Amino acid sequence: MLLISLYLLHSLALSEPVINPFGTYLGSNSGVPGYSNGNDNNSNEDSYVGNIYSGLKWQCVEYARRWLIITQSLTFASVDCASDIWHIDYLSSTSDSSKYIWHIDYLSSTSDSSKHTSLYRIPNGSKCPPSKGDLIIYKRTETNPVGHVAIISKVDYDDIEISEQNWDTDFWPGNYSRAMPLTELSGLYYLFDFEYPIIGWMSYNKPENVHCADIECVTCSAPDRDKDPKCEYL
């Protein structure tokens, strides 16, 4: 009986997920490291790339923005929740960041469209497949109330690899955090995550995708007037 009890306790210990502490290095893609957000409590620590603001440590939005800053010299405006990124129409260049402490608030005050790169909303189930570097946007749900954003690291025939933060605290298996199925049905491309729904992916520097883009924001959600949590959109 004692042996059975010890076995059950050992099995239970093995089945419990290991939570790597806040700030633990988990892996890297394209020279952009991902860190653990620990127990998922919201951090109030700001993160910067040099003097360019990337977000709050170590949220999913912070990783996506930092990846764009480091690899593309681009960034996006402040959002209340990750799912709100779906409503953004462009990325902004960080090429003149040496002139000042480059905070997100600056994006709200500049109208220099020459520094903008179009961001195309490609709904899940589109004729245009996802590409490396695209942003995947998750929809808000009751159990995932702020949505999620990740960077596509690699695209294969039937799956993709992504890099991200604040999905879990597991060490990455390679230069990506996890993989998910990519399926083509009748000429339309679908990404499947069996935990939460994916709205679609957002591409940039690929004007050929404009014919697949939701320019009119038909797939965008309504404003969240309840502000619970404090996301701008449902």
Q: What is the pLDDT of residue 103?
A: 57
Residue 179 domain-assigned (yes or no): yes
Over residues 152-157, the mean pLDDT reads 98
The boundaries of the domain holding residue 42 are: 18-212
pLDDT score of 8 more than 50: no
Domain count, the chain: 1
pLDDT score of 7 more than 50: no
Residue 173 domain-assigned (yes or no): yes
105: amino acid identity, one letter: D
Residue 221 domain-assigned (yes or no): no
pLDDT score of 21 more than 50: yes
Q: Which residues pair with 55 in a beta bridge?
A: 47
DSSP per position, the chain: -HHHHHHHHHHHHHHSPP-PPTT-EEEEETTEEEE--TT-PPP--EEEETTEEEEETT-HHHHHHHHHHHHHSEE----SSGGGGGG--EEEE-TTGGGS-B-THHHHH---GGGEEEEEEEESSBSSPP-TTPEEEEPP-SSSTT-EEEEEEEE-SSEEEEE-SSS--PPPSSSSSEEEEEEEETTEEEE--SSS-EEEEEEES-GGGGGGS-TT-TTPPPB-SS-SS--SB-
Over residues 21-31, the mean pLDDT reads 98
Residue 8 domain-assigned (yes or no): no
Prediction pTM value: 0.88
Residue 228 domain-assigned (yes or no): no
State the sign of the Cα–Cα–Cα–Cα dihedral 8, 11, 15, 18: positive
Residues in the chain: 234
pLDDT digit string, tens, across residues 39-59 = 876 678 999 999 999 999 999
pLDDT score of 93 more than 70: yes
CATH assignment at residue 166: 3.90.1720.10
Going by pLDDT thresholds of 50, 70 and 90, the confidence category of residue 97 is low
Going by pLDDT thresholds of 50, 70 and 90, the confidence category of residue 98 is low
Residue 143 domain-assigned (yes or no): yes
Residue 166 domain-assigned (yes or no): yes
Residue 37 domain-assigned (yes or no): yes
State the sign of the Cα–Cα–Cα–Cα dihedral 19, 24, 28, 33: positive
